C-alpha cells in the first residue's frame, strides 16, 4: 500500500454519478475489486472507493454523491489534489473460464476495469432508473435492465459470476450462483485493518472486510 | 515517545506503520475471545468519529501463543493493553503477561465506553494488577468522570507507574433520515478533534494532581497538537484516529513535533514539558 497526493484530471458527470479522474503518480491500479482510500476534502476520514478504470497515467473512481464525503469528492475540480492510499484488500480472482459480470447501481464501479482485464466478457447491469442506467456506458457490451426488472433475472446458467452491488442483490446472486465472487461494502475508517470498523460476518465469525475482502466467495 | 492509541493499529497487518512508533500498544486483550459488537461499528461526524468495536480480540491465550510471537518480530517495544470485567480479570491478565520479557509495559484499560464498566474502582484494579506484575503499569482513564484528578491520585496511590489520557467518551449519532442510531449498538466512543480539548484538560489536571508520567492522546493530528499535550504535562503522546486517515502520521507528526518545538525556541520537544503550568505559575506571581 502506498499513499500519495494526486492531482485531479477531471470530474465527469455520468447520470447521477461522478467519474473522478486523478493522475496515477506512483500508485499502482492493483487488481479489479481492490479499493483505495480517497481523502475527502474537509472531512476527518477518507472514503473507500474501488477502481473503476485504469486509464493511461490515470486512476478513475465512480462516485455516488450520497453524503458529505462523497459530495466533497464530486466537487473537486481539475488541478486540485487529494491523498490516495492503495491498492487495498483482495480483488477478484481473474482465473475464471466463463466470466459473467453482474452489477447493480453504484456497485458497477469496479466492473469497467474488471471487464477490460478479463477481455470484455458478457455483463448484466441493473439500475433503479433510466438516469442511473447512463452509467452502463462504462461497460459498453452490457445487457442493462431497470427496475422493476431485477438483474438477477438476467443471469444465465453456466457462467463464473463476478458481482458487485447492494447487499440484497448480492444475496440474490448468491442464491442463483453459489460459486460467485462477490464484492461487498462496509463503512471503513482506515481501509488497512487498523480500525476494525468494517466487520462482517464470515462463516459465523466477524472479520474485517478490508483485510479478508472486499471480494469474497459466495459459498 | 510516540505511540499509537490502543485499538487504532494492527501491527501485524501494517508492520511498517508500527515501526514508525517508539512503542506499539496492542488492541485491548481480554481473558476470553470477543467478536466485538454487531455492525455498524463506525460513523463519522462533523466533529470527530464514533466507534463501537466492543473490544474485539482473540483472548489472552491466543494472544500469547499466536500474536505475541509475531509482534516480537517487529523489533518495536510492545505495550500490552488489557481489559476485563472484574478485578480478578486484570490480575490474571497481568500475571500471564509478567513472564514475557517482550512486553515492556501494561496499559490497564479501565475505561472502554463500549462495554459495561467494571463494578470495582480503578484503584482496586490497579492494586490487583500491581500485585500480579513487576512491569510498568499505565492506567488508561476516562475523562467522563466528575474529577479525573481524584481518579489519577487513587491510581497513583494504588501503584500505577503512569497514566494514559484519555479514552474516548460516549457519543451518539442519529441517521439524519431515519433518526435512528447510526451505530449498531446505539452509542459509541467519540474520538478525533472534538476530544482534544477534553483530553488536554485531563492531562493538565492529572499532571497537577499527581506529577505522574502521562501518555497524552485525543485528537492529535499534527506535531503542534502533540506539543500542546507535552506542554499540558504529558511526557509521551499517542496517535489514534489520525492513523485511520493517514498511516504515514507517525513519521509526519514526529517531524512536525520537532519543528514546532524548534520554532518556539526549544532544542527538543521535551523542553516544552509542562510549559502550560509554568506559565500559569508566572501569571499568579506577578
Interface predicted TM-score (ipTM) = 0.94
CATH code: domain A99-182 is 3.40.50.80
Q: Where are the domains of chain A?
A: 2-88, 99-182
Alpha helices in chain B, H assignment, sequence order: 15-19, 59-62, 68-72, 87-97, 122-132, 148-157, 196-210, 223-232, 241-245, 249-263, 275-285
Is residue B144 within 8 A of residue B195, CB to CB? The reply is: no
Rg of chain B over Cα atoms, rounded to whole angstroms, equals: 18
Separation of alpha carbons A219 and B110, rounded Å = 41
Question: Please, what's the largest Cα pairwise distance for chain B?
Answer: 60
Is residue B12 within 8 A of residue B71, CB to CB? The reply is: yes
Separation of alpha carbons A212 and B201, rounded Å = 40
Residues of chain B that touch chain A, judged by Cβ-Cβ distance less than 8 Å:
7-10, 13-14, 17, 27, 35-36, 39-44, 46, 48-49, 51, 53, 56, 192-193, 241, 243-248
Which residues in A130-154 are b (16+ Cβ under 10 Å) and which e?
eebbbbbebbeebebbbeeeebbeb
DSSP state of B67: I
**Which CATH homologous superfamily contains domain A2-88?**
Translation factors (2.40.30.10)
Total beta-carbon pairs less than 8 A apart between chain A and chain B? 85
> For B206-223, what is each residue's pLDDT tens digit?
999 999 999 999 999 999
Q: What is the pLDDT along chain A (219 residues), one digit of tens a residue?
A: 899 999 999 999 999 999 999 999 999 999 999 999 999 999 999 999 999 999 999 999 999 999 999 999 999 999 999 999 999 999 999 999 999 999 999 999 999 999 999 999 999 999 999 999 999 999 999 999 999 999 999 999 999 999 999 999 999 999 999 999 999 999 999 999 999 999 988 777 788 999 999 999 887
As beta bridge partners, residue A206 has A201
The predicted structure's pLDDT at residue A207: 85
Q: Do B35 and A206 touch (CB under 8 A)?
A: yes
Domain at B2-36+54-168+193-285, CATH from 3.20.20.70, 1.10.8.50, 2.60.40.1120, 3.40.50.1970: 3.20.20.70
Active centre residues of B (catalytic): 112
Q: Which of A20, A7, A40 is nearest to A191 (CA)?
A: A40
Q: What is the pLDDT along chain B (286 residues), one digit of tens a residue?
A: 999 999 999 999 999 999 999 999 999 999 999 999 989 999 999 999 999 999 999 999 999 999 999 999 999 999 999 999 889 999 999 999 999 999 999 999 998 665 555 545 899 999 999 999 999 999 999 999 999 999 999 999 999 999 999 999 999 999 999 999 999 889 999 999 999 999 999 999 999 999 999 999 999 999 999 999 999 999 999 999 999 999 999 999 999 999 999 999 999 999 999 999 985 555 544 4
Separation of alpha carbons B174 and B254, rounded Å = 36
Residue A197 Cα, gap to closest chain B Cα (Å): 5
Separation of alpha carbons A100 and A95, rounded Å = 13
> For B142-156, what is each residue's pLDDT tens digit?
999 999 999 999 999
Separation of alpha carbons A46 and A86, rounded Å = 12
Residue B201 Cα, gap to closest chain A Cα (Å): 22
Q: Where are the domains of chain B?
A: 2-36+54-168+193-285
Strand B2-4 and strand A199-202: pairing?
unpaired
Amino acid at each position: 500500500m502506498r499513499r500519495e497526493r494526486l492531482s485531479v484530471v477531471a470530474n465527469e458527470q455520468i447520470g447521477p454519478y461522478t467519474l473522478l479522474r486523478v493522475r496515477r503518480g506512483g500508485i499502482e491500479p492493483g487488481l479489479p475489486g481492490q479499493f483505495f482510500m480517497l481523502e475527502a476534502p474537509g472531512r476527518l476520514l477518507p472514503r473507500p472507493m474501488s477502481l473503476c478504470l485504469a486509464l493511461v497515467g490515470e486512476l478513475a473512481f465512480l462516485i455516488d454523491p450520497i453524503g458529505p464525503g462523497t459530495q466533497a469528492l464530486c466537487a473537486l475540480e481539475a488541478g486540485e489534489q487529494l491523498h490516495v492510499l492503495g491498492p487495498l484488500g483482495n480483488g477478484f480472482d481473474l482465473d475464471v473460464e466463463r466470466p459473467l459480470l453482474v452489477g447493480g447501481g453504484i456497485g458497477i464501479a469496479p466492473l469497467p476495469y474488471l471487464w477490460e482485464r478479463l477481455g470484455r466478457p458478457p455483463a448484466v447491469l441493473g439500475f433503479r432508473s433510466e438516469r442511473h442506467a447512463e452509467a452502463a456506458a462504462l461497460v459498453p457490451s452490457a445487457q442493462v435492465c431497470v427496475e422493476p426488472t431485477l438483474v438477477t433475472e438476467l443471469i444465465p446458467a453456466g457462467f463464473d459470476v463476478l458481482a458487485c452491488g447492494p447487499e440484497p442483490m448480492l444475496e440474490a446472486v448468491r442464491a442463483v450462483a453459489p460459486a460467485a465472487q462477490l464484492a461487498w461494502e462496509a463503512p471503513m475508517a482506515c481501509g488497512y485493518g487498523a480500525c476494525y470498523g468494517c466487520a462482517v460476518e464470515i462463516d459465523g465469525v466477524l472479520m474485517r472486510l478490508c483485510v479478508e475482502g472486499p471480494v469474497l466467495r459466495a459459498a | 515517545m510516540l505511540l499509537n492509541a490502543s485499538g487504532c493499529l494492527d501491527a501485524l497487518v501494517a508492520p511498517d506503520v508500527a515501526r514508525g512508533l517508539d512503542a506499539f500498544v496492542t488492541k485491548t486483550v481480554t481473558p476470553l475471545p470477543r467478536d466485538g459488537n454487531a455492525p455498524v461499528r463506525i460513523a463519522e461526524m462533523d466533529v470527530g468519529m464514533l466507534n463501537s468495536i466492543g473490544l474485539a480480540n482473540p483472548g489472552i491465550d491466543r494472544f500469547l501463543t499466536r500474536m505475541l510471537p509475531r509482534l516480537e518480530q517487529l523489533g518495536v517495544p510492545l505495550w500490552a493493553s488489557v481489559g476485563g470485567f472484574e478485578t480478578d480479570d486484570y490480575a490474571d491478565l497481568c500475571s500471564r503477561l509478567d513472564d514475557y520479557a517482550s512486553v515492556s509495559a501494561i496499559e490497564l484499560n479501565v475505561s472502554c465506553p463500549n462495554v459495561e464498566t467494571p463494578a470495582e474502582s480503578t484503584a482496586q484494579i490497579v492494586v490487583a494488577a500491581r500485585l500480579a506484575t513487576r512491569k510498568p503499569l499505565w492506567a488508561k482513564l476516562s475523562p467522563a468522570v466528575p474529577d479525573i484528578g481524584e481518579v489519577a491520585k487513587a491510581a497513583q496511590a494504588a501503584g500505577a507507574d503512569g497514566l494514559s489520557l484519555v479514552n474516548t467518551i460516549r457519543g451518539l449519532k442519529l441517521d439524519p433520515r431515519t433518526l435512528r442510531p447510526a451505530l449498531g449498538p446505539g452509542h459509541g466512543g467519540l474520538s478525533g478533534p472534538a476530544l482534544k480539548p477534553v483530553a488536554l484538560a485531563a492531562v493538565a489536571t492529572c499532571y497537577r494532581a499527581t506529577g505522574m508520567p502521562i501518555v497524552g492522546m485525543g485528537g492529535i493530528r499534527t506535531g503542534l497538537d502533540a506539543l500542546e499535550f507535552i506542554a499540558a504535562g504529558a511526557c509521551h503522546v499517542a496517535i489514534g484516529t489520525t492513523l485511520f486517515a493517514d498511516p504515514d502520521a507517525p513519521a509526519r507528526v514526529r517531524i512536525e513535533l520537532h519543528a514546532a518545538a524548534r520554532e518556539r525556541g526549544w532544542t527538543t520537544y521535551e523542553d516544552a514539558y509542562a510549559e502550560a503550568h509554568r506559565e500559569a505559575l508566572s501569571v499568579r506571581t506577578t
